[in-house]
Structures are given as C-alpha cells and as structure tokens.
Amino acid sequence: MTPPQRPHRPQRPSSGAKSSQTAAAPEDASPKLHDRISARVPVKRIFAGESSNYFLLLGTTLFLVIFGLVMVLSSSSVESYAADEGFFGSFLRQGLFALIGIPLMLIASRAPTRFWKRWAFPGLILGAVLQLLVFVPGIGLGYGGNQNWIQIGTFSAQPSEFLKIAVIVWVAWVLSTKQDMLGDWRQVVLPVLPVAGVAIGLVLVGNDLGTASIMLLIVFACLLFAGVRLKFLSIGVLAVIAGAVLFATTSSSRTSRIDIWLNGCSDVDYLDSCWQIDQAYWALAGGGLFGRGLGNSISKRGWLPHADNDYIFAIIGEELGLIGAIVVLLLFVVLAISFIRIIRTTNDSFVRIATAGVMVWTVGQAFVNFAVVLGVLPVLGVPLPLISTGGSALIATLLAIGIVLSFARSEHRAAGSSPRPSDAAGASAGTRSAASPTASPTAAPTQTAADRSRMLAANRARGRR
C-alpha cells in the first residue's frame, strides 16, 4: 500500500530569482511613477504660494477698495437720492467699476515682466491717442473748467488716468536700457523729456493742472530711482517750478486758489472760492476724536461739494473721527512699504523704476489729497486713489497695481527656481562622495566653513519667507 502523497506546493523562487524580480519591479514601475510625478509638478507650481510682498500689496489694495466702496455709499447717498438715482446710485456704479478693475488687476498680475517691456511703446501711442480724443468735437467733454474727458453715448472716461500707466512703463523701459549711460545728460533728456513733455502737455492743454502735477511727480520719481544724478534732477525741478508759476498766472481761477492758500479767504469771494475749503474744515472739526458715526455726516447733506470725490477724506474725518483718518493715512503708509519692499528685492532696473512710478502715483497722490483737504496745499482737484468715486481712476490704479503685482510674482518665481546655496553645497558634496571609491555611503560629507555659512544664510532666508 503506497503512502498518501502530499499535495504539490509551488516552489519558492530562489534568492537569485527573487533579487532579479525585485530589481525588475522598479524598472517596470518607473514609467508610471515618473508619469505621476510629472503630473503633480505643474499643479504644485500653479498653486504654489506667492511671496509675502505680493500678498501684502494685494491685501492692502483690496482693503482700501472695499473701504472706499463703504465711504462712497456713505458720502453719496443723499446726493444720489436728490438726483433721482436712489440712495445706492453712485455706490452701484463704483461697485461695477471695482468688479471690472479687480479682475483686470489679477489678470495683469499673471503677465511676465517681458510682456510689459514689449508693449511699452505701443501702450504709449495708445494712451496719447486716447488723450487726443478729448479735443475732438462731439467726443471730448469738459467738466469744471477742465477738458479732460471723453464721452461716447452713455460711456465716459478720463484718458489721462491710463496715460499715466503708459508714461510709467515707457519711461521705465527707456531708462532701464540706458543704465550705463545715465551719467550723460543727453542720454536722459533726449529720450525722456520730449515724450514725457508731450504727454504732460496734452493734459495741460485741457487745463487739468492736478493730473499734470501728479504726472510730473511720477516722471521725477522714475528718474530718481533710475539713478540719474541729483544735479540733473535739481535743474529739472527749478525748470518745473518756473513753468508752474508761469502756468498758474495764466488763469484767474488758479491765481485765486493760490491767493486764498497764501492769504486766506475774504468776504467777497467766499461763496465762489472759500465755501468748499471751509466746509471741509468744519467737517473735520465736527468729527472730533471718534467721529459722528458711519453714515451720520452732516456735511454730505448738500453742504460740502464733491463730498464723494476730491473731499471724501473730510467725510472720513467727520464720520470716523481723527482715529479713522489716521488709520486711512497708515493704510497708505503700508501700501508704500509694500512697494518699497518690492523695489528692494529686485535686481531688474525696469521693475525698480516702474514700481517707483506706481508708488508715487498712488501714495503720492493720496498725500497730495490729504494736504489739499487739510489746507497744506492749494486746491488741485485730485481724488483719493482707491477710495474716491470715479471709474477711470479706480480701474487705472488697479491696473497699475496689477503690473507691480506681476513684478512681485515674477521675482518670487525666479528666486524659487534658482538652487539654494545649501542645496548646491549638498549636491556637490554628494557628487564628491559618489566619485570617491573609498567613501563610505553612511559617512557625512566634509563641510567647510563657507558651506556652513551658506547653509545658515539659506535657512534664514527660508525662515523669512
């Protein structure tokens, strides 16, 4: 009788076969693993965090826009109702402009720096053509003695606001290409003075002295941050002062404003020239330390002209008090700090010059508006950026800030793509270890003092991010 046979069991592979299968497994799986990695990397890059400068500028801008919408609603509700537009007429228009400007700003922030360099000259031509339309009969529109608007049907716009962007980008592009020749005054005057002078002259022909003054400040800031010698700039400042005095004496309205600023008001021209100034003073004084409360302004009820535009800061002081006015001032200081941080972190002269121009436009114009409302400067008719009502000014300002955001984003991407010093040191040490036949796989690579210094600097930089 034969013993029962045991069931046949599959034999285990030998150690050699096991090692060969194990070695073949990663080779077969490597294409799939490579596909997964290659599919994840672009998504990671798309959703990678931006720099702190980017978010500081973006967050401050959005907060100012939202705050501006609240103050436009508060300061314009009575006048809108009196004009049969309802309490929300001006607010809804300004909100529509914000809904156009904010996406436009975000789209502009995605453009690379080379895009703005490529379109610098075509943008300047387009801005000049738009500004020329204000002198075309049937299209140009005059308001408050200024011929600085265009109107086609129900659509109206102020082309000089977009001309500011064109001048900033073009001047930054020209000066960035002449960084090694700025010591020669001809290299500065010949390209910049004729073009910038024509652009500012087109605005002056329309009698808009306030906008022309801001454009002069913008060009001066671009020249200063480009590295032009101070003696050249001082000569230009003296020439501008002489031209401003000459231009101011050609108009009785401008002469009256300067005389009131220097000598005070008189009973003769009180209603024509001093009413708005005194009402702004009374609004600020009535606010006290904590204000009357949001929406409780008295001056906006027909007493203060342009309460939602040039003199909205007076309504802020009346409703939110001295504390609210100081908070608004500090918000523009934070905006200036965000611009300066972007300027300090870039090595591109074009980025530095263009960012300085946008900074002077937004922050400088804001402080000019503060000075006018407080009586430190004569009345110039410039709105408060990002807060005052006005569609062209809001959209153009948001577009300019979007250009600066694109600079911050491009600089952050360039810094993130470059190898860190510690990584480079580790890679070179690993290469040396692999090349040495006697090197132990577990032995730490020799680290020099220079390698340690670079590693500590990289860690500090990574911590600041």
pLDDT digits (tens, 9 = 90+) for 360-372: 999 999 999 999 9
pLDDT of residue 415: 62
User: Phi and psi (nearest 5°) for 409?
Assistant: -70, -45
Q: Is the pLDDT of residue 393 over 90?
A: yes
Q: Tell me the C-alpha to C-alpha distance, in Å, between residue 76 and each of 312, 387, 445.
A: 10, 13, 70
| Least confident window among 42-46, 243-247, 357-361 | 42-46
Query: Among 3-17, 156-170, 366-380, which stretch is predicted with the lowest mean pLDDT?
Result: 3-17
Q: Does the pLDDT of residue 8 top 70, yes or no? A: no
Please give the pLDDT value at position 11: 53
Least confident of 113-127, 323-337, 416-430: 416-430
The CA-based dihedral angle spanning residues 88, 94, 98, 101, taken in that order and rounded to the nearest 10 degrees: 160
Give mean pLDDT, residues 418-433. 45
Q: For residue 2, is pLDDT > 80?
A: no
- In angstroms, the CA 260 to CA 267 distance is 12
Q: Which of 99-103, 245-249, 313-317, 325-329 has the lowest mean pLDDT?
A: 245-249
The token pair that represents 68 in the structure block: 């501006």
Which pLDDT does position 433 carry in this prediction? 43
What pLDDT does 461 receive?
Answer: 52
Q: Is 162 left (phi over 0), alpha (psi -120 to 50) or beta?
A: alpha
Distance of alpha carbon 396 from alpha carbon 211, whole angstroms = 13
Worst-scoring range by mean pLDDT, 44-58, 97-111, 148-162, 271-285? 44-58
Give the per-residue pLDDT at 146: 78
**Among 150-159, 254-263, 339-348, 424-433, whose mean pLDDT is lowest?**
424-433
CA 102 to chain centre: 12
Predicted confidence at residue 247, as pLDDT, reads 73
> Can you tell me the distance from the alpha carbon of 456 to that of 465, in angstroms, rounded to the nearest whole number?
14
Higher pLDDT, 127 or 23: 127
Is residue 437 over pLDDT 60?
no
pLDDT at 246: 76
pLDDT of residue 183: 77
Closest CA to 394 of 31, 14, 103, 12: 103
**All residues at 6 or more sequence positions from 419 whose CB lies less than 8 Å from its CB, including other chains:** 427
State the pTM of this model.
0.78
Average pLDDT over residues 449-453: 49
Mean pLDDT in residue range 126-145: 87
- Average the pLDDT over 123-134 and give the result: 92
> Would you state the structure tokens that stand for residue 384, as one six-digit string?
């408060």
> Which positions ≥6 away from 140 have C-beta within 8 Å?
133, 134, 147, 149, 150
Q: Is the pLDDT of residue 41 over 80?
A: no
* Per-residue burial over 422-448, b = 16 or more CB atoms within 10 Å of its CB, e = otherwise: beebbeebeeeeeeeeeeeeeeeeeee
State the pLDDT at residue 91: 93
Which distant-in-sequence residues (6+ apart) come within 8 Å of 47 by Cβ? none
C-alpha torsion sign, points 457, 460, 462, 465: negative
Q: What percent of the chain is predicted at pLDDT more than 90?
A: 45
The per-residue pLDDT for 272 is: 64
- Separation CA 447–CA 363 (nearest Å): 48
Which of 107-111, 224-228, 437-441 is the least confident region? 437-441
Q: Which residue has the higher pLDDT, 445 or 409?
A: 409
Residue 218 has pLDDT above 90, yes or no: yes
Residue 21 has pLDDT above 70, yes or no: no
Q: Are 326 and 348 in contact (CB under 8 A)?
A: no
pLDDT of residue 434: 43
Q: Residue 313: what pLDDT?
A: 95
Note the pLDDT of residue 410: 79
pLDDT band at 267 (very low <50, low <70, confident <90, very high): low
Q: What share of the chain is helix, strand, coil (3-state, %, to 5)?
A: 70, 5, 25
Q: What is the pLDDT of residue 420?
A: 45
Q: What is the mean pLDDT of the chain?
A: 80
CB distance 342 to 318 below 8 Å: no
- The pLDDT confidence band at residue 438, using thresholds 50, 70 and 90, is very low
- 439 pLDDT more than 70: no
Quote the percentage of the chain above a pLDDT of 70: 75
Of the candidate ranges 70-79, 375-384, 433-442, 448-457, the one whose mean pLDDT is the lowest: 433-442
For residue 157, the SS3 value is strand
Q: Identify the band that residue 276 occupies on the pLDDT scale cut at 50, 70 and 90.
A: confident
More confident of the two residues 76 and 425: 76
